[in-house]
Amino acid sequence: MDKVVPTAGAAVADVPDGASLAVGGFGLSGVPNALVRALYERGVNGLSVVSNNCGAMDSGLAVLLSAGRIARVTGSYIGANKEFARQYLAGELEVELIPQGTLAERLRAGGAGIPAFYTPAGVGTQVAEGGLPWRYDGDGGVALASSPKEVRDFDGTACVLEHGIRTDFALVRAAKGDRHGNLVFNKSARNFNPLAAMAGRITIAEVEELFEPGTIDPDAVHLPGIFVQRVVALTPEQAADRKIEKRTVSLR
The answer to whether residue 206 sits within a structural domain is: yes
The answer to whether residue 244 sits within a structural domain is: no
Question: Is 237's pLDDT higher than 90?
Answer: no
Question: Is 246's pLDDT higher than 80?
Answer: no
The answer to whether residue 122 sits within a structural domain is: no
Question: Is 245's pLDDT higher than 80?
Answer: no
The answer to whether residue 250 sits within a structural domain is: no
The answer to whether residue 251 sits within a structural domain is: no
Question: Is 59's pLDDT higher than 90?
Answer: no
The answer to whether residue 49 sits within a structural domain is: yes
Domain that holds residue 93: 8-115+164-235
Residue 176, domain CATH: 3.40.1080.10
CA distance 125 to 148: 10
The model's pTM is: 0.93
Mean of pLDDT values over 195-216: 97
Number of domains in the chain: 1
